[in-house]
Structure 1
Amino acid sequence: MDIERFKNQHVDILTRIAALRKLVHDGIEANVHAIARQVRDLGTVVKLHLAIEDRILYPAVRQSAHPGIAAMGNAYQNEMKGIANEYIRFTNKWSDPQQLAADPESFRAAANQVLKTVYQRMQRENHEFYPAIERI
C-alpha cells in the first residue's frame, strides 16, 4: 500500500502547527484574526486527513492478510476517535477571534494540550504504524 499521501499530509499538518505556534509566540492579542484563521484552516486539513484515513487507510489495513497489522489498524483507528473529537471541539471553539480575544490564556493551554496530542499521535504513526504497513 502506498502511504506517501498520508506522510505528505502529516508534513503539511506539522508545518501548519509550526506556523500557528509562531503566531501565538508573536502575541495572541496582536494576531487574533490570523490565529483564528490558522486554527480554522488547520482544522480543515486535519479533518480531511482523518476522513481519508477512515475511508481508505483503515479499511485497507483491516483487510490485510497480516493479522498483526489489521489489529494495529483497529487500535489506531479506535484511539483516533477520541483525539479527533477533542481536536474538533478545539477547532470549533478557537477558530472564533472573539473567543481568542476574550480568553487568550485558555486558548494557549488548550492549544498546547491538543496540539501536543496530535503531534505525538502523528509521530507514532510516522515511526510505528506507517513503517509496519510499508513492510508488508
Structure 2
Amino acid sequence: MNIDKMKSQHVEIIDKLNKLRELSHAGISQHAKEIAQAVINMSSVIKIHLSAEDQFLYPYLEKVNDAKLKRMSLQLQREMADIVIQYEAFSRRWNTADKVFGHDEEFRRDANIVLRKVHERMHKENHDFYPLVEQI
C-alpha cells in the first residue's frame, strides 16, 4: 500500500507543531491571532489525515494476512480514539485569538500535554507502523 500522502501529512503536521512552538516561545498573548490560526490550520490537516486512515488504511489492513500488523493496527486505532478526543477539545478551546489572549499558562500547559501526544503518536507511526505497512 502506498502511504506517501499520509507520511507527507505527518511532515506537514510536524511543521505546524514547530510553528506553534515558535509562536508560543515568542509570546502567547502577543501572538494570539497567529496561534489561533495555526491551531485551525493544523486541525484541518489532522482531520484529513485521520479521515484517510479511517477510510483507507485501516480497512485495507483488516484484509491483509499479517497477524502482527493487524494487531498493531487495532491497537493504534484504540489509542487514537483518546488522542482525538483530547485534540478536538484542545482545538475548540484555542481556535480564536480571544480564547488564547491572556491565557498564556493555560495554553502552554494544554499544548504541552495534547500536542506532545500527537507528536509521539506520529513518531510511533513513522518508526514502527508505517514501515510494516510499506512491506505489504
Q: What range describes the TM-score normalised by the shorter chain of this pair?
A: over 0.9
1:1-136 aligned within 5 A: 1-136=1-136
Q: Which runs of 5+ in 1 are unaligned?
A: none
Give the AA of the match of 1:25.
Answer: H
Unaligned runs of 5+ residues in structure 2 are none
Let me know the Cα RMSD of the aligned residues: 0.9
Percent identical among aligned pairs is 38
Distance in 2, Cα, partners of 1:108 & 1:74:
32
**Kept after mapping to 2: 8 A contact 1:36/1:94:** yes
- Which runs of 4 or more aligned residues in structure 1 lie more than 3 Å from their structure 2 counterparts after TM superposition? none
Are 1:43 and 1:91, in contact at CA under 8 Å, matched by a contact in 2? yes
Aligned partner letter, 1:94? W
Say whether the 8 Å CA contact 1:62–1:69 is kept in structure 2: no
- Superposition deviation, residue 71 in structure 1: 1.5
- Alpha-carbon offset, residue 68 of structure 1: 1.5
Q: Partners in 2 of 1:4 and 1:55 — Cα distance?
A: 16
Classify the secondary structure of the residue corresponding to 1:102: coil
Which letter does structure 2 place at the counterpart of 1:33?
Answer: K
Displacement of 1:62 in angstroms is 1.1
Q: How far apart in 2 are the matches of 1:31 and 1:68?
A: 45
Shift of 1:102: 3.4
Partner SS state of residue 64, structure 1: coil
Q: How many residues align?
A: 136
Q: Give the secondary structure class of the aligned counterpart of 2:33.
A: helix
